[in-house]
Amino acid sequence: MKEVRNLSLVMDFYELTMSQVYFEDGLKDTEVVFDLFYRRNPDNGGLAVFCGLEQIIDYVQNLRFEPEDIEYLAGLGQFTPEFLDYLANIRFTGDLWAIPEGTPVFPHEPLVRVKAPIIEAQLVETALLLALNHQTLIATKARRIVQAAEGRPVMEFGARRAHNFDAAVMGARAAYIAGCAGTATTYAGQKFGIPVLGTMAHSFVQSYPTEYDAFLAYAKQFPNSCTLLIDTYNTLKSGIQNAIRVAKEYLEPNGYRLKGVRIDSGDMAYLSKKIRKILDDNGMQDCAIVVSNSLDEYLIESLIHQQGAKIDSFGVGENMICSKNTPVFGGVYKMSAVNHDGEWIPRIKISENDEKTTDPGYKNLYRILDKEEGKAIADVIALQDEVLDPEKDLTIYHPMKKWKYKTIVGGTYELRPLLVEIFRNGELVYDCPTLEGIRAYSKREMDTLWEEIKRFVNPQVYYVDLTEKLLDLKLGMLEEYK
Ligand SMILES: Nc1ncnc2c1ncn2[C@@H]1O[C@H](COP(=O)(O)OP(=O)(O)OP(=O)(O)O)[C@@H](O)[C@H]1O
Ligand SMILES: O=P(O)(O)OC[C@H]1O[C@H](OP(=O)(O)OP(=O)(O)O)[C@H](O)[C@@H]1O
Ligand SMILES: O=C(O)c1cccnc1
């Protein structure tokens, strides 16, 4: 399903003003390289889950200014007619490489690399960042929550707390990629084929004269998929009792089983244990206990490991859809090379803060995997023209300090290029995987990481290092600008 909205002008105004300067200065055909990367993992975690590429592809493919856009820009009185004529016909004609969606990624590595005429590369900055920053943030959070649930299904319940419509729908997509079992957001089901799931609201229970009437009415319509919300009045004294009554008096005599009960308030550990016992005592071992109420990965972990809660699945809303603890994913888009007469001239952004100094040059990214164990050892950023031979020893360096390095013995590792070609000369050359494919791939990729990187507390830092050639280039440029 394609977006019908024309979102091309979702760009920062400076992209247009700078572009006019490039145009009027005769620089419009100058090719440049930009890298999109981020600096810190959300939630002090050990990784992020890369997401949002499909929406980036949509934007880049549909980048064009309609007559009403040109008219609007003309009305601002700041742009030359020649530049506006140029914009009226602009299309993305460059190359774009990106890491496949669902891949676990790490700070400072290029997630997307754009090589294009300078105006085109500049105009896509905001859209690339916003699509990636949002979905990567939500996927990263969702993965943590799914990890904490240890195989128990997690339902995404966030739309009502999301930061508007797109955040709900794209958030549901990201959460599904990261392993959620489904979403309550029906539109996300329609648009992306995500399983849609749900139980019932307190208002439904309140709208009937009695809780029992409400449960029975629901069970009659949905005898196969009935999860009753049991905490509207009194979870133990009435909710669970009425749920069992409906199961015994209506569902079971008609050949059905009660699928589940949901608890949305009170002490989830205490109540779930009590309810499990009551259900089991009534021969309802297959009736699932679903809980919801401001859950996140820490609470889920505590419920399972410290509190012995008897929970079969979780509904998670606000903490996931807003990534409440870390509500911003700080992806940035930085120029790394400019082409002069066919030669790539590296560019660097220097900062007092090492973390903010960029890696210069037209670069590539590889994941180094241990051949025997299949586990990821580190990622290495190399210059585009470097040939790395996995049969030879590979020495990788700390991104600023040459004395910090590690040598991996030739023949013991595999090198996997992480950036794949998405657009070549403006043509889409990438077959977008299905959402199910991305989800399954993400799970497989997650299995290539050591648990130490995935833990929540003080995770091991995964190395994103540089080749010697790239580090020498960077240190040389730092010396030059000192
Ligand atoms: N076993 C538990 N361990 C830690 N936190 C819990 C546990 N059970 C519930 N909580 C948390 O306690 C809070 C419950 O308090 P809250 O003020 O929301 O009341 P409530 O139980 O939802 O009541 P109501 O919805 O009727 O107002 C929620 O944030 C929930 O996630
Ligand atoms: O707590 P979340 O993780 O966001 O999960 C979604 C919440 O949304 C619903 O609540 P509702 O909108 O009825 O409000 P409530 O907080 O009063 O239950 C549902 O009953 C959950 O409590
Ligand atoms: O289906 C549910 O139970 C549901 C959906 C969204 C938010 N809270 C609950």
At 421-438, the pLDDT tens digits run 999 999 999 999 999 999
CA atoms of 324 and 43, how far apart (whole Å):
9
Residue 386 phi/psi, 5-degree rounding, is -80, 140
The total domain count for the chain is 2
pLDDT over threshold 80, residue 5: no
Structural domain including 311 reads: 140-322
The answer to the question of residue 3 being in a domain is no
Rounded to an integer, the average pLDDT of 311-340 is 98
**Residues 90, 173: one domain?**
no
pLDDT over threshold 90, residue 50: yes
**Residues 310, 414: one domain?**
no
Q: What is the pLDDT of residues 225-269, one digit of tens each?
A: 999 999 999 999 999 999 999 999 999 999 999 999 999 999 999
CA atoms of 47 and 29, how far apart (whole Å):
37
**Residues 167, 110: one domain?**
no
How close are the terminal C-alpha atoms of the chain, in Å? 52
Cα 144 to ligand 1 centroid, rounded to whole Å: 20
The CATH number of the domain where 442 resides is what? 3.20.140.10
Is 122's C-beta closer than 6 angstroms to any atom of ligand 3?
Answer: no
The answer to the question of residue 342 being in a domain is yes
Minimum CA distance residue for ligand 3 atom 1: 198
Greatest pairwise CA separation for the chain in angstroms: 83
Q: What is the pLDDT of residues 370-392, one digit of tens each?
A: 999 999 999 999 999 999 999 99
From the alpha carbon of 198, which atom of ligand 3 is closest?
Answer: 1
The answer to the question of residue 42 being in a domain is yes
Is 157's C-beta closer than 6 angstroms to any atom of ligand 3?
Answer: yes
Contact 181, 194 (CB under 8 A): no
The answer to the question of residue 8 being in a domain is no
The answer to the question of residue 2 being in a domain is no
Residue 399's closest CA among 468, 351, 334, 453?
468
Contact 35, 112 (CB under 8 A): yes
pLDDT score at 349: 94
Is 317's C-beta closer than 6 angstroms to any atom of ligand 2?
Answer: yes
Residue after which a domain boundary falls, among 290, 322, 354: 322
What does the angle CA 194 – CA 327 – CA 303 come to, to the nearest 5 degrees?
Answer: 70
CA atoms of 195 and 327, how far apart (whole Å):
26
The answer to the question of residue 389 being in a domain is yes
Q: How many CB atoms lie within 10 A of CB 61?
A: 16
CA atoms of 176 and 156, how far apart (whole Å):
8
pLDDT score at 263: 98
**Residues 261, 198: one domain?**
yes
Q: What is the pLDDT of residues 113-156, one digit of tens each?
A: 999 999 999 999 999 999 999 999 999 999 999 999 999 999 99
Is 160's C-beta closer than 6 angstroms to any atom of ligand 2?
Answer: yes
Is 293's C-beta closer than 6 angstroms to any atom of ligand 1?
Answer: yes
Using most ligand atoms within 8 A of CB, pick from 157, 180, 290 the residue to mutate for ligand 3.
Answer: 157
pLDDT score at 4: 65
pLDDT over threshold 50, residue 1: no
**Residues 184, 278: one domain?**
yes
Q: Which amino acid is at 429?
A: V
Residue after which a domain boundary falls, among 322, 356, 381: 322
**Residues 109, 224: one domain?**
no
**Residues 340, 298: one domain?**
no
The answer to the question of residue 53 being in a domain is yes
CA R_g for the chain: 26
Percentage above 90 pLDDT, the chain: 97
Name the band, by pLDDT with cuts 50, 70 and 90, for residue 303.
very high
Rounded to an integer, the average pLDDT of 159-174 is 98
**Residues 144, 124: one domain?**
no
Is 315's C-beta closer than 6 angstroms to any atom of ligand 3?
Answer: yes
pTM score > 0.90 for this model? yes
For the chain, the average pLDDT equals 97
pLDDT over threshold 70, residue 292: yes
Residue 361 phi/psi, 5-degree rounding, is 95, 165
Residue after which a domain boundary falls, among 322, 356, 378: 322
**Residues 112, 222: one domain?**
no
Q: What is the pLDDT of residues 67-100, one digit of tens each?
A: 999 999 999 999 999 999 999 999 999 999 999 9
- Residue 401: CB partners within 8 Å, gap ≥ 6? none
**Residues 351, 369: one domain?**
yes
The answer to the question of residue 152 being in a domain is yes
Cα 246 to ligand 3 centroid, rounded to whole Å: 21
